[in-house]
Amino acid sequence: MTNAALAFVFPGQGSQKVGMLSEIAQEASEIQATFAEASEVLGYDLWDLCQNGEQEAINLTQRTQPLLLTSSVALYRLWRARGGALPARMAGHSLGEWSALVCSGVLAFRDAVHLVRERGRLMQEAVPVGTGAMAAVIGLEDGVVEAACASAADGEVVAAVNYNSPGQIVIAGNSAAVARAIEACKAAGAKKAMPLPVSAPFHTELMRPAAEKLAPQIEAAEFNAPDIPVVHNVHAEPESDPAAIKALMIEQIYRPVRWTACTKKIITDGATQLVECGPGKVLAGLTKRIDRSVTCHSIDNPGSFNEALRSTAV
């Protein structure tokens, strides 16, 4: 049954760590079965990489993206196998939007694994390592950060790219421009403005070449209307038309992630309980900054998984 007050959200890059899901996989065959399916597509053992690889290896974008997609889909499959309630709405942060599309029935898991591997590869290739950067800015209003980026650009690219929660924004662009923007944000009174350990300036115009190269593969894939509405990063609204969803997933690569707006949309539409379907608690933390009235659950270990099942049952 559908729980009208329940939303599922899916994390993006940054939530990965070696050994994740190991405890829950010991008691749930669905986890390793999903990883085995992804491994067939990828041509390498994704579960072994996840459990025994080096952190540097799983941080490579073209590996991180299929890894997180697979983790989220595995947990969602387990949720449904254990009788978990259907959510009434979904959203995913950046890469996590692909996880939401798979779990809402828009495209097949195997197709998504292939597409996000290519997405990661093309995004990394779009900007040579060292020439792009990202930084977190804490404690400034959106407009102040946007103005700081505009003043720091000086003919290069730097922009707000992740609107994560009120007072927490990520900026990205050319390395020198990001460095100038960091100083401008500090001068404007930011509590923190610091570089992030990321290898490419995601969700900027610098990613448009990657989007253009991936577009034919997305266009060729079979997309369906979603069984569960997915709120999209680009405009913080759901979309039911498969062709429009394809266009949004292409545009998403070089447009900002409007996560605060996505979360507010989910809540406005009736969500009072939120399950973070993937490793970690990043999105739960952001949700608390956006609206403290929402109850957040994580499901990446047996204890929290079973508690979420009980709390959201209908």
The answer to whether 117 touches 62, Cβ cutoff 8 Å, is yes
- Among the listed residues 71, 165, 199, 203, the single catalytic one is 203
> Rounded distance, CA 235 to CA 255, Å?
10
The answer to whether 180 touches 171, Cβ cutoff 8 Å, is no
> Rounded distance, CA 38 to CA 128, Å?
28
- Among the listed residues 15, 71, 72, 94, the single catalytic one is 94
φ/ψ of residue 286, rounded to 5: -65, -40
Start-end of H helices in the chain = 22-25, 29-42, 46-52, 55-58, 61-81, 96-103, 109-126, 142-152, 175-187, 208-220, 242-251, 259-268, 282-290, 302-312
> Rounded distance, CA 231 to CA 195, Å?
29
Known catalytic residue: 114? Answer: no
The answer to whether 173 touches 123, Cβ cutoff 8 Å, is no
Known catalytic residue: 94? Answer: yes
Query: Which residues are part of the catalytic machinery?
Result: 94, 203
